[in-house]
Structure 1
Amino acid sequence: MHSNSGDREQRPDCIVFSNASVKRGERLIWQHGDFSIPAGSVTAIVGTNGTGKTTMMKTELGLLPLAGGTVHVLGRPAGEMNRQIGYVPQSYTSDIDSNLTAEQSVLLGLTGTRFGVHFVTKAQRAKVKEAMTFTGIADKAHYRLSELSGGLRQRVAIAQALVCDPKLLMLDEPLANLDLASQRAVVHVLARLNKELGMTIQVVAHDLNMLLPILTGAVYLLDGHPHYAAMNDVLDSKLLTHLYGTKVQVVTTPQGDMFVTPTPDEADDVVPDTHDTSEVAQFHHHEYHERKGRAQ
Structure 2
Amino acid sequence: MAKESDASVQPSVREPVIRLRDAELRFGDRVLWHDLDLDVSPGEFVAVLGPNGTGKTSLLKVLLGQNTLSTGSAEVSGRRVHSGNSAIGYIPQQRGIDPHTPMRGRDLVRMGIDGHRWGTGLFSRGRKKKVDELLASVGAQDYADAPAGTLSGGELQRLRVAQALANDPSVLLCDEPLLSLDMHHQKVVAALLHEQRVRRGTSVVFVTHEINPILPYVDRILYIVGGHFLIGTPSEVMTTESLSRLYGSPVEVVRVGGRLVVVGGEEECVNHHVHSDEFDPERGAI
Band of TM-score, shorter chain = 0.7 to 0.9
* TM-score scaled by length of structure 2: 0.79
**2:149 alignment partner in structure 1:** 146
Mapping of residues 1-296 of structure 1, within 5 Å: 10-79=13-82, 82-90=85-93, 93=96, 98-116=101-119, 118-241=121-244, 247-251=251-255, 259-262=259-262
Runs (5+) with no aligned partner, structure 2: 1-11, 265-286
Paired residue secondary structure (1:82): coil
* Farther off after superposition, 113-122 or 123-132: 113-122
1:139-198 deviation digits (Å, cap 9, x = unpaired):
111111111110111111111111111111111001111011111110111111122222
Between Structure 1 and Structure 2, whose CA radius of gyration is higher? 1
Question: Residues 62 and 96 (structure 1 numbering): CA distance in 2 closer, same or farther, change over 3 Å?
Answer: farther
* Farther off after superposition, 201-210 or 108-117: 108-117
**Partner Cα separation in structure 1 for residue 138 and residue 44 of structure 2:** 19
- Offset of 1:235 from its aligned partner? 2.0
The aligned amino acid for 2:135 is M
Aligned residues: 252
**Partner Cα separation in structure 2 for residue 97 and residue 33 of structure 1:** 45
1:265-296 deviation digits (Å, cap 9, x = unpaired):
xxxxxxxxxxxxxxxxxxxxxxxxxxxxxxxx
Contact residue 47 and residue 243 of structure 1 kept, 8 A:
no
The aligned amino acid for 1:260 is L
User: Which has the bigger relative contact order, CA under 8 A and spacing at least 6?
Assistant: 2
**Partner Cα separation in structure 2 for residue 96 and residue 25 of structure 1:** 41
1:26-84 deviation digits (Å, cap 9, x = unpaired):
43222111222222101111001111100011111121111111111111111267211
| Matched-pair identity in % | 31
* Farther off after superposition, 130-139 or 217-226: 217-226
Runs (5+) with no aligned partner, structure 1: 1-8, 265-296
The aligned amino acid for 1:182 is H
CA RMSD of aligned residues (A): 2.6
**Partner Cα separation in structure 1 for residue 101 and residue 252 of structure 2:** 39
- Higher percent of residues as helix: 1
* Farther off after superposition, 63-72 or 226-235: 226-235
* TM-score scaled by length of structure 1: 0.77
Contact residue 51 and residue 225 of structure 2 kept, 8 A:
no
Contact residue 25 and residue 33 of structure 2 kept, 8 A:
yes
Contact residue 246 and residue 262 of structure 1 kept, 8 A:
no
**Partner Cα separation in structure 2 for residue 95 and residue 82 of structure 1:** 28
- Offset of 1:248 from its aligned partner? 3.6
